[in-house]
Each structure stands twice: as C-alpha cells, then as structure tokens.
Amino acid sequence: MAEAIEFALEDCLADTWAQVDAGLLARAEAQEAMRRRRAFEAAWQSTAAVGAGGSVAAYRLRVFRDYIQYEEALATLLAVRLGRRAAAGRKRRRDGGDSRLPVNRLTGRWHRRVLALYERAVRCRWLRGDESIWLGYARYALQAGSVSICRRVLSRALSAIGARSCRVYAVAGAVEADVRGSVGTARALFQRGLRAHAQQPEMWAQYFAFELAFALRLHKRRQVLLADAHEAVRLQVPLLVLQHGAQQLTSGGARQQFVQRCRELIPSVAADAAAVQSVLSEHLEQWERTGGSDCV
C-alpha cells in the first residue's frame, strides 16, 4: 500500500513545490498540503477503517468527498492568489515600475489535479455508479473552462448510469443548449432521456422547463429583431410537452408529481414573464380538471 500511496503523490509533488517557487504557496503550506494528501491517499487505499456493518462503497464515497473538497478549496485559494499577483503586476505597469514578476506557468494545473481525482473516482468500481460524482465532475470541468471535457464526462455518464438517472440527461441537455447554443442536440438528448425514463415525472418536467426557457429566449430575440414589444410568447411546444407528459405517465400519482413539479419550475424559468406564468397556470388547472386529456 505504501508504494501505491507514493505513486499517487508523485504526480502532484513537483507541481506543489513549483507553486512554492512561484510564490503561490509558503513552504509550510506546501508541507501541510502534502501531509493532508498522504492521509487521504492512505484512507483511500485502505478498507480497514470501513468498520463493522459498513460498506466499502459508502466508505470510499466519504473519503473521496473529503478529499475532493480539500483539493477544490486549495485550487480556489491558488486562483485567488494568482489573481492578486496579476492585479499587482498591472498596478506596477500603470505606476511605471518594474512589472517583471516571476512568470507563473502553473495556471490550470490545480484544476487538472481536481479533475484527475474525479477521474479516479468514476473509474473506481464502487463509485462509478454514483450520480453525484459524475455531475460534480462535469460541473468542475465547466467551471475550469473546459466545455469539451464537460461534454465527454456527461456522455460517459449517460452510458454508465443514464438508464438509472434522468438528471444526467437534464444536465447534458442544459449544457448543450445554454453553453454551446445547440438546441437541436439538447432536444435530442432530452428525447433520448424520455425514451429511457418515460414514466419519470422529473424527466418530463425538466423537458418542459427546457422548452419553456427556449420559447422565452426565442421571444426576446424576435422582439429585438422585429421591434415588436407586444408580440405574444409562442407556447405551443411547451404546452405540447405538458399534453404528452400527461398522456404518457400512466400512474395517477406520477401525473400529480409532474404537474406539481411544473408549477415549481415555471416561476424560476419565466421569472420576468408574469403573463406567461398566468397562461401556463390556467393550462395546468385545466390539466387537473380533465386528467391530462386536454392541455392545449
């Protein structure tokens, strides 16, 4: 086990001391960081601390969450210090002083450290089925500015746990629509999710929220291009999603969950469109009266 721990730490040792040389970490801070990492690696490699009645999966998940929380906090600290150094350099240049600060070649390396830990987690046989790890991986990749890594992670998540998680489809669709601007790809992902989760109210509700958000964005674009402030929002597609969701959900309880979830999502999606909220509320009331047979 000792060799495995040393091997895992070799990858970050050089970067940590390079951060010391660049002035981003004090020597004592670097030593403490390596000590904490060694402790996390020892806990990760060992199952002796699982305890009676505990599962290896729950133990590994607990260790991983503590480990990743520490590394994310350290990455945030380094990013803040780098930002302060950049601001100091700009001030020196404005004041006409010497702006030759030590060149930092480590930008992004702390992000790669966190992403590498997520990669280890999703490759672990006890954790690869955990939805929260996959979504945390994709979220961090997006925050680090790597849309391509985020998309690859979500694609792998769909293959690994897509049949058990409608949330992964919703997140993947949101990334395609909101980040890449590819509404067609996002819609295809949602429809793929609906085929896999036809009886999940949350999947239908998320698709409804996506189509409503797109209808509102399209409406604002048309207002700008056509200079028509009185044009009504075209809600045909979101209303069709309501109708099809009501028809496809065979359980009465699932239909009630669907309409309740839609009620919860409408104010956040259409926060600046009171008229749209009113129209949709009327249709949802009609949905409840007719049992979902007529929503449009």
Domain positions in the chain: 1-45+61-87+108-128, 199-296
Average pLDDT value for residue range 215-239: 77
Whole-angstrom CA distances from 174 to 64, 86, 184, 271 are 27, 33, 12, 18
User: Do 98 and 67 form a contact (C-beta atoms < 8 A)?
Assistant: no
In this predicted structure, what is the pLDDT of residue 227? 61
86 has pLDDT over 80: no
Average pLDDT value for residue range 205-210: 93
Q: Between residues 100 and 236, which one has the greater pLDDT? A: 236
In this predicted structure, what is the pLDDT of residue 31? 93
Predicted confidence (pLDDT) per residue in 24-47, tens digit = 889 999 999 999 999 999 998 876
Whole-angstrom CA distances from 289 to 265, 271, 283, 293 are 21, 26, 10, 9
Average pLDDT value for residue range 209-234: 78
User: pTM for the whole thing?
Assistant: 0.83
What span, in angstroms and rounded, lies between the C-alpha atoms of 153 and 159? 10
What span, in angstroms and rounded, lies between the C-alpha atoms of 285 and 244? 16
Predicted confidence (pLDDT) per residue in 88-132, tens digit = 766 666 655 544 444 445 656 778 889 999 999 999 988 999 999
Q: Measuring CA to CA, which residue among 44, 49, 71, 7 is closest to residue 126?
A: 44
Predicted confidence (pLDDT) per residue in 176-185, tens digit = 998 998 999 9
Q: What is the mean pLDDT of the chain?
A: 84
- For 59, residues 6+ apart whose C-beta sits below 8 A from its C-beta are 47, 49, 50, 51
Q: What is the b/e burial string over 196-222, where b = at least 16 CB atoms within 10 angstroms of the residue's CB? A: ebeebbebbbbbbbbbbbbbbeebeee
280 has pLDDT over 60: yes
What span, in angstroms and rounded, lies between the C-alpha atoms of 260 and 191? 21
